[in-house]
Amino acid sequence: MSKDKLSRLHTTLVDARAGYETAIDDAETAKLKAMFEQMFAIHGAAHSDIDKALVAKGEKPDESGSFMSTVHKAVISVRSAVTGVDENSLSSFVSGEQRIVEQYDEAIQDELDASTVAMLQYHKSRLLGMITRMQQNAA
């Protein structure tokens, strides 16, 4: 059922935003901070649109995220303390974002509503653009 895949993606975006919130604070360069702020905004826009789609389907989206919100924050904080959040960290962020792309693919494949599919494809394409940018900046 499409609501399940959308709900899962919604929760993942809540979690990702929590991680980027920490990454923004811990970024070692202004360039990385700006990149993380952009990722936070991209996930926020997608979250908002998916939230509206779920409400339209009669769902009440969970805004608390999952346990992974805590994990993302902890991993980033530990990385910051041990090695720093710099260009060497980008490959880890890229891996996480690629898993989110897979969730977009699953939601798109499962979705019956054309306007929701178009919205998901739009947000996925924005994310793919940022993944490319992160890969280009990775040390």
Question: What separation in angstroms does the CA of 135 have from each of 45, 74, 138?
Answer: 22, 23, 5
pLDDT in tens, the chain (139 residues): 457 999 999 999 998 998 888 889 888 889 999 999 999 999 999 999 999 999 999 988 877 655 454 444 444 444 444 345 567 788 888 999 999 999 999 999 999 899 999 999 999 999 999 999 999 988 6
CATH number at residue 68: 1.20.1260.10
CB 77 within 8 A of CB 19: no
Q: By residue range, what is the domain housing residue 51? A: 2-136
Q: Is the Cα dihedral 23, 29, 35, 37 positive or negative?
A: positive
What is the number of structural domains in the chain? 1
State how far the Cα of 118 lies from the Cα of 104, in Å rounded to an integer: 11
